Structure 1
């Protein structure tokens, strides 16, 4: 009999014996178990360790092994019974998780119009592999990284923001979503309001609610966030935090109008509030000039800028950066030391290698051309196949189209019918912090394998709506 099977046999015997005893009863000694069951001391030791790990017994050195006061929980229908957690978690409310940007696997033949990442064919896979290989060869690749991030990487992110931002104003983060969660916890207290564009990024709403904040919608129009209504929202709520995406807004693709960019910052400053500028799509332009970040012209720390390499590179390149000034940066550094100490150095080194090569700029130019073409293909196909659907705009950057559905259709009906026609979509409702004014869909053009698939997906959506 192998050692493994001996241990399993003894564990089963002891479980049955524990079930017959009462909490606090003493089990036979190790010597007795060795003699009684004809096993070795190592087998006995490992069997008792397994039972202790399960919580069935407790061991007291020099005294013996005793039946635990907390008996093993029963297994119901072949599945563990976790109903006890309802009591343990009572009063610790956490909102439902944000909808997944893209399911890990879609059924074969499905065209993905859902999701918020690039298809593998658009990702700089070879560049990433080379950057990671070069980073791994550095003699200090596995040394501890500074809490704020590698100086070289912080300098590169500071240059992306522009203005007089320096590396001392930058904190490297593990992607954008984690940075959002940290920012909301750092800047506001549970129960506080946070102003958001309506619609907005569902992951931001989820992060805000998980931090105990109350998202308050501020309407947009074709030029972006409305400064007049923003001022009213600050006055009515007393909010000290605004979250917005002024460049290639998710989901609408809107770019905040030039005359409003200064106004929005001034309104936030007058309210004594922080403005979190989520600049996730700065490197996802379609070839036209991209406006400067709001943070580039901010000198008093009103704007906290958030950037990321995840969207233009790969979902697994979880490297982002927060740019902030003043006490809020010291608070963020303090949270970093509590939460996770630092971001893994090899990944930071790989990001430095990636951003420092001329091939990265070539990738961004190629990506811009591909995204512009894909966007046009999907927009044209939707106009042809679904002329009654109202396209908000053909964006000049980003990964999505935002459509308002005809009055006779609901987004739930379309989203439920689409999979049967082998196409996936994102419903619009999760993008709204309150009631949605109408039914919408967010359709991505970057996750499909080929541009031709986008035209096919529009035809499939039209068939799905006719079938419904």
Structure 2
């Protein structure tokens, strides 16, 4: 983030005014847009509020901004305020279109992490850099010469990577497939996006879990889909609920995360898995199974995925490299009938002509290397240690203030708060104290739930202090 140069001979308020003028000229702040408040801008730039008042006065003097009591400071609707010539209003474009922005809480979390890099991060749903196989990847890059061809590759994905995934899926997930039935994507979210945009139509009804990571993705609403919920809790009555939704709303597709479900960490038992497959086959409804966490199981192997039990061809299976190695590699996959793979590969070609071939080559080498299995073992141990550290901190800092079920895999702890508290107030109190988490309402629950991602803090030694800060925020917000 830009900061004024305190060694410059130019006064700080003039530097700030010039910086804001440049951002306005570049349409970063289009006409009519609201500028940050004087207090907030002063905090961001590390200056006194009086300095911001001077800078704003400078911009007002040339007619570039306008201030109204109680309404804040906005960019003038007229360009430069000298000749009343209307400038292009980019705000209308930014607020238009069919693709919706992220939900406000997620935007607030992203903003806070950008502005305060030292925040203890329990919010970002990914592995810390220290958990990634960085040295192994670097060694593979030294050992292998990657292709000299840098043109467009097969939009379905790099063939050797798809072949490596055939072996990987058979060994680790008991899924029998072929390379022609695999589509390489940039991660699970792109798989979901392609499904929502290409296999469904506006107005179609789909079922998602309640609560669900899918609920936090505006891509479903952007596609014009109607979302209906299936409770994650008890499996009793689950199949009857699906039949009711199909009968009443004409459900076209079901989205599930049966292994260490995000955000709750729930592990579906074999009975529910069998029931899901039976009812999907009976009603002719496809299931999209998102399975990013299975290989993080701590103590014992998890039940087989729905896809491994799928004898009727009802399941589209999606996975990702992000949760077991490194999110920055941007590699995911989808296993589906060949006709679906071809349809989505065609859509991918229209979007971006396929992924970069270099990361695909690296991941193909890693999956087939002697480094992969030791990395998984080490990752499980480190995640279990982090989970145990989090549970111990919760017991010490939040006795009687929340309830939870200890996860047996995955990256997250889902908690229900005992005191009644507003999610927005709790989040702001936590950020003020130096810690960030995801409120449960992001995933469709009511106020009073939180998700902690114990895989994300830079160092596991941050976990205890982070929960202590959260405890302070909770007591303040509850009061």
Q: TM-score range by the shorter chain?
A: 0.7 to 0.9
Q: What's 1:86 paired with?
A: 92
Change in CA separation of 1:457 and 1:379 when aligned onto 2, cut-off 3 Å: same
Q: Give 1:75's match in structure 2, choosing from 66, 76, 79.
A: 79
* 1:190–1:213 CA contact under 8 A, matched in 2: yes
Q: CA deviation at 1:416?
A: 1.1
**How many residues are aligned here?**
390
Q: What's 1:455 paired with?
A: 464
Using the TM superposition, name which of 160-169 and 305-314 deviates more: 160-169
Q: What's 1:125 paired with?
A: 134
Q: Give 2:164's match in structure 1, choosing from 156, 161, 172.
A: 156
What SS is found at the alignment partner of 2:450?
Answer: strand
Change in CA separation of 1:452 and 1:84 when aligned onto 2, cut-off 3 Å: closer
The answer as to 2:478 corresponding to 1:466 is no
For 1:321 and 1:383, locate their aligned partners in 2 and report how far apart those are by CA, in whole Å.
38
Using the TM superposition, name which of 309-318 and 123-132 deviates more: 123-132
Unmatched segments (≥5 aa) in structure 1? 1-72
Q: CA deviation at 1:317?
A: 0.7
Query: What is the 5 A alignment of 1:282-293?
Result: 282-293=294-305
Deviations 1:388-414 (A, max 9, x none): 333331111111111111243222222
Q: What's 1:426 paired with?
A: 438
Change in CA separation of 1:364 and 1:268 when aligned onto 2, cut-off 3 Å: same
Q: CA deviation at 1:325?
A: 1.0
Change in CA separation of 1:326 and 1:406 when aligned onto 2, cut-off 3 Å: same
RMSD in angstroms over aligned alpha carbons?
2.6
Change in CA separation of 1:85 and 1:459 when aligned onto 2, cut-off 3 Å: closer
Query: What is the 5 A alignment of 1:430-445?
Result: 430-432=442-444, 436-445=445-454
* 2:401–2:419 CA contact under 8 A, matched in 1: no
Change in CA separation of 1:206 and 1:77 when aligned onto 2, cut-off 3 Å: farther
Using the TM superposition, name which of 199-208 and 421-430 deviates more: 199-208
Q: CA deviation at 1:222?
A: 4.9
Query: What is the 5 A alignment of 1:246-285?
Result: 246-285=258-297
Q: What's 2:218 paired with?
A: 206
TM-score (ref. length: structure 2): 0.75
For 2:288 and 2:389, locate their aligned partners in 1 and report how far apart those are by CA, in whole Å.
33
The answer as to 2:186 corresponding to 1:169 is no
Q: What's 1:146 paired with?
A: 154
The answer as to 2:227 corresponding to 1:219 is no
For 2:142 and 2:80, locate their aligned partners in 1 and report how far apart those are by CA, in whole Å.
49
What SS is found at the alignment partner of 1:156?
Answer: helix
For 1:395 and 1:293, locate their aligned partners in 2 and report how far apart those are by CA, in whole Å.
18
The answer as to 2:372 corresponding to 1:372 is no
Query: What is the 5 A alignment of 1:348-359?
Result: 348-359=360-371
Unmatched segments (≥5 aa) in structure 2? 1-76
The answer as to 2:186 corresponding to 1:182 is no
Change in CA separation of 1:162 and 1:81 when aligned onto 2, cut-off 3 Å: farther
Q: CA deviation at 1:183?
A: 1.1
Using the TM superposition, name which of 125-134 and 416-425 deviates more: 125-134
Change in CA separation of 1:139 and 1:192 when aligned onto 2, cut-off 3 Å: closer
For 1:394 and 1:453, locate their aligned partners in 2 and report how far apart those are by CA, in whole Å.
20
What SS is found at the alignment partner of 1:208?
Answer: helix
For 2:328 and 2:209, locate their aligned partners in 1 and report how far apart those are by CA, in whole Å.
28
For 1:438 and 1:368, locate their aligned partners in 2 and report how far apart those are by CA, in whole Å.
32
* 2:216–2:442 CA contact under 8 A, matched in 1: no
* 1:134–1:353 CA contact under 8 A, matched in 2: no
For 1:322 and 1:168, locate their aligned partners in 2 and report how far apart those are by CA, in whole Å.
11
Q: CA deviation at 1:218?
A: 1.3
Change in CA separation of 1:110 and 1:398 when aligned onto 2, cut-off 3 Å: same
Q: What's 2:11 paired with?
A: none
Change in CA separation of 1:256 and 1:89 when aligned onto 2, cut-off 3 Å: same
Q: CA deviation at 1:167?
A: 1.6
Larger Rg: 1
The answer as to 2:119 corresponding to 1:110 is yes
* 2:102–2:217 CA contact under 8 A, matched in 1: no
For 2:90 and 2:397, locate their aligned partners in 1 and report how far apart those are by CA, in whole Å.
52
For 2:178 and 2:332, locate their aligned partners in 1 and report how far apart those are by CA, in whole Å.
16
What SS is found at the alignment partner of 1:358?
Answer: coil
Change in CA separation of 1:385 and 1:89 when aligned onto 2, cut-off 3 Å: closer
The answer as to 2:411 corresponding to 1:399 is yes
For 2:211 and 2:272, locate their aligned partners in 1 and report how far apart those are by CA, in whole Å.
18
Q: What's 1:311 paired with?
A: 323
